Amino acid sequence: MTIVLMIILAYLLGSIPTGLIIGKAFFKTDIREHGSGNLGGTNTFRVLGKPAGIIVSLIDILKGTAAVLLPLLPFFAETAIHPLILGAVAVIGHMYPIFAGFRGGKAVATSAGVLLGYNWVFFVILLGLFFLLLKLTKMVSLTSILLAIIAFLMAVGSHFLIEPDIALILLITVLMIFIVYRHRANISRIRQGTEPKITWI
């Protein structure tokens, strides 16, 4: 029963529609009606500006981290469930939030938060690569897709060269599929040369 409760909590954590809350509470704006219509950090940057975008991105990251750390709570201390399962559930909640009509973000920030909670070294490396790739591509979408692929290769390399962790490989494989699928419209625009580019980096 506690496993079911943890899964529900992980989903509800992921379902917190940060962009919608920040937009309506402080800007009287539903960001689903502007820009890409997405609830994630990128559209928040585009519609509401840098401060709001940073806040939304950070909270979306922490949603994934909080889900992974649920087993550390005393009430759940003896519950046998892999934390990465909870992380994956939180990402699903972020993409399909019950609190926002199941229209959510594109999985990137919350996926990063899952890695932060499970393997902070991976997170730090990927964060550095994110800004490097973003500077080179000027496209958040392309950077996110490339980073998902790199994360998969890192997980496989770490499994064979440093420490076996098949659960991490499986999780990142699932997250990579989520991210690519959620960016399918962006992929089409990238091919057509119409994907918006950033100018702040």
Task: Please give the pLDDT value at position 79.
Answer: 80
- Binning pLDDT at 50, 70 and 90, where does residue 1 land? confident
pLDDT digits (tens, 9 = 90+) for 166-178: 999 999 999 999 9
Residue 94 makes CB contacts below 8 A (sequence gap 6+) with 14, 15, 60, 63, 64, 104, 105, 107, 109, 110
Cα radius of gyration rounded to whole Å, the chain: 17
Whether 63 contacts 14, CB under 8 Å: yes
**pLDDT over 90 for what percent of the chain?**
87
Instruction: Give residue limits of the domains in the chain.
Output: 2-192
- Its pTM stands at 0.94
**pLDDT over 70 for what percent of the chain?**
100
